[in-house]
A and B are shown apart, each in its own frame.
Chain A
């Protein structure tokens, strides 16, 4: 069953159609990568799922329910979110950051949930719990951001260029440990990236976007074989195919 269903989504910014009749579904347990160049509409599509962006046409359903009918704050607390710069709250410790969503949801012990999440993201709570974000490396910060997104145990995770700001070696490590974590947690994820190689490394399905439309969608393992036209061009550009 599709956990996330996007139907005929349209979003306009003035004369520009950021989303031009996009239809897409994300199966439970899968990881869909939205790939494309800047301005292709991939982030707009991602943000429509937890109502950070309101659509001008079409609709999104999550867990079989139209998101337009769900209170946005409640909706967002039920969905994990990771952004490129991490967006950690600078004057909160790692543990406070990691325990944010459980605390918002009124969990009995947000600190315990935060500790578990840090551990799952590969950070020893004994070492990192009381540190502030500025005392961490970029890779460690991104792990805290992932721990924060997963701490309340959501079934859906949205990620916007989560590894974009990391150096090449750190990025490889982060991608691998994220893929393992996602699989073991059984979380359904939507990942926005401009990097096809990253998409192939982390995702189970890939949707290629251009000018507000999905031009191609296939399983990650089959994209090299199936790609034609713009998608093939993009593959070549990102060095996946030589």
Chain B
């Protein structure tokens, strides 16, 4: 009994700790760290890091939350004020967020998004940084040459013979594949959804013939690619600029000014060089951002922190991942320790809460069997929602960070525990239960002395399933800024760095295996004598 009570205490303590973490995130508006976010690709990391360094050089504390899964997620977080600033592109704002089509030049687009964002969401575009990074449709140079392709109009003719691979963001956006295909009447033989991390590789190896790229990508020169000209002017101008929340703009004018001073200072050459350093040379994002700022005369002072999530793996030529991984993990051990602790916190709090809810619910359902099926099906429905979508649904309600992640993981854990509790209780020696009742055992005695002991291993099996699912799903939480072992995975995916991906994936797998083993042991330990197999 004391063991069980201790466990409950731990769960409650974790819940409290989690609440404190959430509370400190909303400290005083004047002194709270400035939350700088990015989307999951190298240039977004780079610009966010540059913002962070500029702010830190002015003495502000910065909370870096790079690698949000998509425009929608990071923009929602900005509207809620969970994120203060992130780098965005005017064309994306126009097409993906406002849903309007391209019209007019850079200045016209900037004016339109500025007016509309302020009116609709009280969100401000600071002046553009000085370079444009438009979508580019790219092919292997040799393939483009052999088909004699130079423009997207030309691509439309050749497309039925070609396989395309696009990033999920591009495939889902009005200013992406959908609009492009309509404008140029392009229909590919096949279209794959490919993450940034594998897109260039897939193109280089001939698995696909056409990809979406960014005009400032370092990888364009690295893989010797041809960018096809947008001869009908489909893509709007994509001027990069800091996008800031209304509260931040109103409450932190000096910080806003510091960011606004970057306006017009970054040209396309400088940003392409910095991208190349990250994507081709494997430089740390923090380092690349610093040299970018030096390039443009905005060198920051000494920094205490070299960029939390931007430590890169040593990408020496010819070194195998197997050798590089332990070295990288050792160098990043402090971060890794924090990420593991964070990961465990997410999993344990959500799992504990799910046990507290699903276990009594499963027991209660035994007495209301007519509705049990419907309730369990509803919990099952929750589990069919893809992880990233469920996390996205949480943002409007719970903001970003640990809270929405814990709620999402909690919802995922409900079904296995609820279903196993109900099944375990219902199927626990029904003949012994009916005989016990006939001999004068009370319903409480039947539950505590017959049903629960017999159902315990089945319930533990449900907890075990939930725990393993949670350890895996919690890696997705990094997409909404919740931290954990997903951080290096998301950053590694964005920066095409397999060692970095593995430095998160391997510990996550080890956690899952250990959790599974430990809970399997617990499962056989709670099986009462007399029925152990």
List A residues at the B interface (Cβ < 8 Å).
Answer: 50, 52, 73-78, 80-81, 83, 85-93, 100-101, 104, 132-134, 145, 148-149, 158
Majority-rule SS of A interface residues: mixed
Given contacts A87-B436, A93-B530, A134-B530, 9 further A-B contacts (CB under 8 A): A81-B435, A83-B435, A86-B435, A87-B431, A91-B528, A100-B436, A104-B441, A104-B445, A132-B529
For B449, list chain A residues within 8 Å (CB): 89
* Complex Cα–Cα for A208 and B438 (A): 24
Give the Cβ gap from B438 to chain A, nearest Cβ, in Å.
4
State the Cβ distance, A88 to closest chain B Cβ, in Å: 6
B531 touches A134 (CB 8 A): yes
Q: A87-B431, A89-B432, A90-B432 given as contacts; is B438 within 8 A of A81 (CB)?
A: yes
Contacts of B530 in A (CB 8 A): 90-93, 132-134
| Residue numbers in B under 8 Å from A77 (CB-CB) | 439-440
Assess the A90–B429 pair: CB atoms within 8 A: yes
Q: Which of B436, B442, B529 contacts A89 (CB 8 A)?
A: B436
CA distance A95 to B439 in the complex (A): 16
Query: Whole-angstrom distance from the CB of B532 to the nearest CB of chain A?
Result: 9
**Residues on A with beta carbons closer than 8 Å to the beta carbon of B436:** 87, 89, 100
Contact residues, B431-455 vs A (CB, 8 A): 431-442, 445, 449-450, 453-454
Q: Are B440 and A83 in contact (CB under 8 A)?
A: no
CA distance A204 to B439 in the complex (A): 24
Given known A-B contacts A90-B432, A132-B529, A134-B531, A76 and B454 have beta carbons under 8 A apart? no
17 A-B residue pairings within 8 Å (CB atoms): A73-B441, A73-B442, A80-B439, A81-B438, A81-B439, A83-B435, A86-B431, A87-B438, A90-B454, A90-B530, A91-B531, A93-B530, A100-B441, A104-B440, A132-B530, A148-B439, A158-B438
Most B CB contacts (10 A, CB to CB) among A81, A91, A100, A148 go to A91
Query: How far, in whole Å, are A23 and B435 apart by their CA atoms in the complex?
Result: 26
Q: Are B440 and A73 in contact (CB under 8 A)?
A: yes
Are B431 and A149 touching (Cβ within 8 A)? Answer: no
Q: What are the 8 A-B residue pairs with the smallest beta carbon separation, nearest first?
A: A87-B435, A77-B440, A132-B530, A91-B528, A76-B440, A81-B438, A91-B530, A87-B431
Q: Which residues of A contact B438 (CB under 8 A)?
A: 50, 52, 76, 81, 83, 87, 158
Q: Are A91 and B440 in contact (CB under 8 A)?
A: no
Which residues of chain A are within 8 angstroms of B433 by Cβ–Cβ distance? 87
Given contact pairs A73-B442, A91-B529, A148-B439, A83 touches B434 in the complex (Cβ within 8 A):
yes
Q: Smallest Cβ distance from A162 to chain B, in angstroms?
A: 11
Contacts of B393-445 to chain A: CB distance below 8 A:
429, 431-442, 445
* Minimal beta-carbon separation of A79 from chain B (angstroms): 8
Question: Which residues of the other chain, B, contact A76 by a CB distance below 8 angstroms?
Answer: 437-440
Name the residue of chain B whose CB is nearest to the CB of A135: B530
Contact B432–A88 (Cβ < 8 Å): yes
Rounded to whole angstroms, the CA-CA distance of A91 and B450 in the bound complex is 8
A87 to B430, CA, bound (A): 8
CA distance A85 to B449 in the complex (A): 20
CB neighbours of B528 from chain A (8 A): 91
Please name the residue on chain A nearest to B433 by beta carbon. A87
Find the B residue at minimum CB distance from A77: B440
Q: Which residues of B contact A89 (CB under 8 A)?
A: 429, 432, 435-436, 449-450
Most buried by B among A50, A77, A100, A101: A100
Contact B454 A91 (CB under 8 A): yes
Residues of A within 8 A of B454 (CB): 90-91
**How far, in angstroms, from A80 to B440 measured CA to CA in the complex?**
10
The answer to whether residues A101 and B531 also contact, given A87-B431, A87-B432, A88-B432 and a CB cut-off of 8 A, is no
Beta-carbon contact of B431 and A83 below 8 Å: yes
CB <8 Å contact, A104 and B439? yes
Residues of A within 8 A of B431 (CB): 83, 85-87
CA distance A93 to B442 in the complex (A): 20
Interface string of B506-533 (1 = CB under 8 A from A): 0000000000000000000000111100
Q: Report A-chain residues with C-beta under 8 Å of the C-beta of B441.
A: 73, 100, 104
Q: Which residues on the A side are within 8 Å of B450 (C-beta)?
A: 89
Q: Which residue of A lies closest to B442 (CB)?
A: A73
With contacts A83-B431, A83-B434, A85-B431 taken as known, whether A90 is within 8 angstroms of B439 at the C-beta atoms is: no
Contact residues in B for A145 (Cβ distance below 8 Å): 435
Please measure, in the bound complex, the distance between the C-alpha atom of A78 and the C-alpha atom of B436, giving whole angstroms: 13
Chain B residues near A91 (CB, 8 Å)? 453-454, 528-531
Least CB distance from B168 to A in Å reads: 52
Question: Is A90 a contact of B434 with CB atoms below 8 Å?
Answer: no
CB distance from A161 to the nearest CB of B (A): 12
The smallest beta-carbon distance between A191 and chain B, in angstroms, is: 15
**CB-CB nearest in chain A for B432:** A89
Chain A nearest Cβ from B165, distance in angstroms: 57
Give chain A nearest CB distance to B427 CB in angstroms: 12
Chain B residues in 8 Å Cβ range of A90: 429, 432, 454, 530-531
Chain A residues with CB under 8 A of B439: 76-77, 80-81, 100-101, 104, 148-149
